[in-house]
Amino acid sequence: MSSPYPVQRLTHLQRSPEMSLRINFSFLQRFKDEARISKVRTRDGEKLLIRGSVVSSPQNLQFAETKMHKSEKTVRIGVLGASGYTGSEIVRLLANHPQFGITVMTADRKAGQSIGSVFPHLITQDLPNMVAIKDADFSRVDAVFCCLPHGTTQEIIRGLPKELKIVDLSADFRLRNIDEYEEWYGQPHKAPDLQKEAIYGLTEVSRDEIRDARLVANPGCYPTSIQLPLVPLIKANLIELRNIIIDAKSGVSGAGRGAKEANLYTEIAEGIHSYGITKHRHVPEIEQGLSDASHSIVTVSFTPHLMPMSRGMQSTIYVEMAPGKTIEDLYQQLRISYEDEEFVVLLEKGAVPHTRNVRGSNYCVMNVFPDRIPGRAIIISVIDNLVKGASGQALQNLNLMMGFPENMGLLYQPLFP
Ligand SMILES: NC(=O)C1=CN([C@@H]2O[C@H](COP(=O)(O)OP(=O)(O)OC[C@H]3O[C@@H](n4cnc5c(N)ncnc54)[C@H](OP(=O)(O)O)[C@@H]3O)[C@@H](O)[C@H]2O)C=CC1
Ligand SMILES: CC(=O)N[C@@H](CCC(=O)OP(=O)(O)O)C(=O)O
């Protein structure tokens, strides 16, 4: 697995007339011939202020700190809905992104407040206060993450400058068929023209289209955890398209930060419950992705559950194998499909994915098991709903759209315990 930052041996070191160090190193040569480095700790503790990123050195430089001054970041980011769970997760992830700097953050009820006052874990972030969307200055923004409730984004995006790159975390642009959107979301689509332009952003499946997109519809959390294992198996004709049964479980942050009686501690703790049985709005999104993979109509049984945990999601998927196919065929297909993917991990045979092993990270961890009923298989896939299921995948997509390495700012290891 490669490093999140260009940690490389120095290939050249010299002093410039202003006593700053100018350093050429091989990683950045892929982008520019030369970069200057930001803060460097030398063996004797001396600190040198220079521009750039992380380096290691064969000489007296031990580490360079990853901090770049905001003015040195090249892409100006707006976070719409920064006072919510996915918006604040974008802020957390971007704190370590060497190229994306936040210039605008919006909120609704919390407009006027600082991010640190709304989210004390982000108190060290030196960022402008959140403003109402109507007061946001988009002339200082190159790309936005829309972390707003369904239905809101369709209207708001219309008013944004046309040249902005947009990653929308809501479901507003995920369904290509706007009649289906109306059926499942209970309101007519307000921006059918923009829907035509939107690219569904399941990164590992649609990377090439995402690179050229202006508007990306970031997938829902359940659909991400379900499509990542099923799409390659369906494309390789290894499983039957009928009788796909998905039992999925989510942490409570999946429901957003807004206060709801059903999400009180007393309603959630010490128990689990199903919801949205047969009518959860992720059904058409899952079926759209699986139907695309098979070039035919796929339907699924999908039942989500709410778990007494803050973050995390597991999808347990029961499938029939195609005639003559074995668990080994399914396992090898997933291995081949994901061996070069940074953020999808197929465990060793028999090892069980745990949600707590992906907390806070952009990884999807999966495995496939033989059922005791011959011909059937059980697939388990886990993600952090707020990272690979939302803000992490959104950042992965914007990295691609802006021409940066897909993993930039995303190689957080999972939190444990
Ligand atoms: N939570 C998750 O795991 C996932 C969520 N998503 C989707 O991402 C989007 C954001 O979700 P999440 O962060 O959880 O939601 P939250 O409820 O936590 O945050 C919503 C944000 O939108 C703002 N907002 C609410 N109403 C309006 C409005 N009318 N105009 C402008 N801003 C408004 C809120 O501001 P304020 O708080 O100041 O009122 C807040 O900043 C949703 O569409 C959700 O479905 C997608 C994948 C996973
Ligand atoms: C626990 C919980 O309530 N989860 C949410 C899903 C969150 C998500 O992925 O997304 P979208 O809202 O963006 O589709 C739900 O079931 O509606």
Pocket around ligand 2 at a 6 A CB cut-off:
170-171, 220-222, 250, 254-255, 282, 304, 306, 389
Longest dimension (CA), the chain: 74
**Nearest CA among 190, 191, 208 for reference residue 199:** 208
Residue 417 confidence (pLDDT): 87
Pocket around ligand 1 at a 6 A CB cut-off:
81, 83-87, 107-110, 133, 147-150, 152, 169-170, 220-221, 253-254, 256-258, 385-386, 389-390
Residue 60 confidence (pLDDT): 30
The complex scores an ipTM of: 0.98
Residue 10 confidence (pLDDT): 33
**CA 169 to ligand 1: nearest atom:** 8
Tell which one of 85, 175, 222 to mutate to probe ligand 2, the residue whose CB is within 8 A of the most ligand atoms.
Answer: 222
The upper half-sphere exposure of residue 117, i.e. CA atoms within 13 Å in the direction of its Cβ, equals 9
Cis amide bond preceding 417, omega within 30: yes
Question: What does the alpha-carbon distance between residue 52 and residue 412 come to, in Å, rounded to a whole number?
Answer: 20
Output the residue whose Cα is nearest ligand 2's atom 3.
255
Residue 279 confidence (pLDDT): 95
Q: Which domains does the chain have, with CATH numbers?
A: 10-68 (no CATH), 71-219+390-401 (3.40.50.720), 222-385 (3.30.360.10)
What's the 133 CA to ligand 2 centre distance in angstroms? 23
What's the 254 CA to ligand 2 centre distance in angstroms? 5
Question: What does the alpha-carbon distance between residue 175 and residue 183 come to, in Å, rounded to a whole number?
Answer: 11
**Phi-psi label, residue 274: left if phi above 0, alpha if psi -120 to 50, beta otherwise:** beta
Output the residue whose Cα is nearest ligand 1's atom 29.
152
Question: What does the alpha-carbon distance between residue 184 and residue 10 come to, in Å, rounded to a whole number?
Answer: 55
Question: What does the alpha-carbon distance between residue 228 and residue 251 come to, in Å, rounded to a whole number?
Answer: 19
Residue 59 confidence (pLDDT): 34
C-beta pairs of 95-99 under 8 Å, 24+ apart in sequence: 95/122, 95/125, 96/4, 96/66, 96/409, 96/412, 97/73, 97/395, 97/408, 97/409, 98/5, 98/53, 98/66, 98/68, 98/73, 98/408, 98/409, 99/73, 99/74, 99/75, 99/402, 99/404, 99/408, 99/409
Output the residue whose Cα is nearest ligand 1's atom 37.
83
Residue-by-residue DSSP string for 30-66: TT-S-EE-SEEEETT--EEE--S---B-SSSEEEEE-
Output the residue whose Cα is nearest ligand 2's atom 14.
220
Q: State the ligand closest to the CA atom of 118.
A: 1
pLDDT-flagged residues of the chain (< 50): 1-71
**CA 150 to ligand 1: nearest atom:** 43
